[in-house]
A = this chain, B = another copy of it.
Amino acid sequence: MDQSRTSPTAALLLKLRQRDDVSAEEEKVVEDLVARTKHVAARSDLVSEGDRPKHSTLIIEGFAARYRQLPDGSRQLTSIHVPGDFVDFHSFLLKEMEHGITALTDCYVVEVPHASLKTVSETHPHLMRLFNLCALIDGAIHREWLVSMGRRRAPMHLAHLICEIYELLEAVQLASNHELRFPITQIDLADILGLSAVHTNRVLQELRRSQLITWDGAVIKILDWPRLRDFADYDNRYLHLVREPR
The reply to whether A133 and B238 contact each other, CB–CB distance below 8 Å, is no
Copies in the complex: 2
Q: Is the CB of B150 within 8 A of A194?
A: yes
A132 close to B (CB within 8 Å): yes
Asked if B150 and A94 make an inter-chain contact with CB atoms under 8 angstroms apart, the answer reads no
Q: Which of A58-76 contact B (CB under 8 A)?
A: 66, 68, 70-71, 74-76
Contact of A149 among B79, B95, B194 (CB under 8 A): B194
Decide if A139 touches B137 in the complex (CB within 8 Å): no
B139 lies within 8 A of A135 (CB): yes
Contact of A150 among B129, B138, B149 (CB under 8 A): B149
Task: Please determine whether A133 and B94 come into contact, CB atoms closer than 8 angstroms.
Answer: yes
1/0 per residue, CB under 8 A from B, across A85-119: the answer is 00000100111101100000000000000000000
Q: A79-B143, A93-B133, A98-B237 are in contact. List 12 more A-B contacts (CB 8 A).
A: A66-B143, A90-B139, A94-B133, A98-B235, A99-B238, A121-B125, A121-B129, A132-B132, A139-B142, A142-B142, A150-B193, A150-B194
Whole-angstrom CA separation of A11 from B79 in the bound complex? 31
Residues 211-246 of chain A, each 1 if its beta carbon lies under 8 Å from chain B, else 0 = 000000000000000000000010101101000100
**CB-based nearest B residue for A95:** B244
Residues of B within 8 A of A146 (CB): 76, 78, 142, 145-146, 149, 194
A119 to B10, CA, bound (A): 32
